[in-house]
Amino acid sequence: MAKNDKFIKNLISDIDRLKRLLMGIKPDINDDTFQNILKSLRRKNRVEYDSDALELKFDDKNLPRHLSHSNINNLRLYFSVDLKMDYVKIKKYEDPFKKLEFNIYAYGVNQNNKNGSELVYSLHFDRHIFNEGDNIPNEVHPMYHFQFGGRKLKEKKIDMGQALFFDAPRIMHHPMEFILGLDFVLSNFFPDIWEKLQLVGEYINILKKYQEYFIAPYYQSVVNYFDRKIKTSPWNAKDIYPQLVER
């Protein structure tokens, strides 16, 4: 690894520390996802990885609240990230992501069904790449957005029953790589684990760093849009928040 790639070296260290902190609380986690990301960073000497899905198992006696089905077991959540980044742009306060996509999906067994049918949940996040000549759809398309559903539901070819699915709205959201994405997963789906990690100074220090890298410039660009004294921002506010009206 080149001596000047301090960012990559620190990123490797932070992901490795994050792995140890999480496995200290939830030791049943397979660390293959972490190892594959670390291997990609070391081998390619650039911030680029397409991770295997990290599996997080729910305790059958401590399932998430407000589930659509009342009797579920073997509920597992998966989280994967596909990312390419020009990290040099971070210092310039510019958008560093060339590609960013992650999927959150979950499978469980419906015990109310005598055949024990499989249940599926899916949430998709990505950075939309606008290419010259693209046929831009009429509906809003924030550059960074969440959508419910996606390929994972289609892959399973599940019986939709009485559920009605539209082309789900793209919900604008700040970008998240593996570290911030994992914090999102834990805080929303595994609050008991997340609350324990919030008490660990090492975990908080890691989050602070990556929130400053990727969250601060995102929101600052939107705030700058409303300040008439500021003519430009490193990130295009209209790309990340298309509903903004012209100043």
Q: Which of 185, 147, 148 is nearest to 18 (CA)?
A: 185
Confidence at residue 234, expressed as pLDDT on a 0 to 100 scale: 81
Contact 52, 99 (CB under 8 A): no
For tokens 């490795």, name the residue: 16
Contact 40, 1 (CB under 8 A): no
Contact 153, 120 (CB under 8 A): yes
pTM summary value: 0.88
pLDDT tens track, the chain, 247 positions: 454 589 999 999 999 999 999 999 999 999 999 999 999 999 988 999 999 999 999 988 888 877 777 788 889 999 999 999 999 999 888 999 999 999 999 988 887 766 667 888 889 999 987 665 555 556 778 999 998 876 666 666 666 565 656 666 788 999 999 999 999 999 999 999 999 999 999 999 999 999 999 999 999 999 999 988 887 788 999 999 999 988 7
Under DSSP, the state recorded for 195 is H
How many angstroms separate the Cα of 184 from the Cα of each of 173, 179, 188?
11, 9, 6
At 189, list the tokens.
Answer: 């789906």
For tokens 């301090």, name the residue: 6
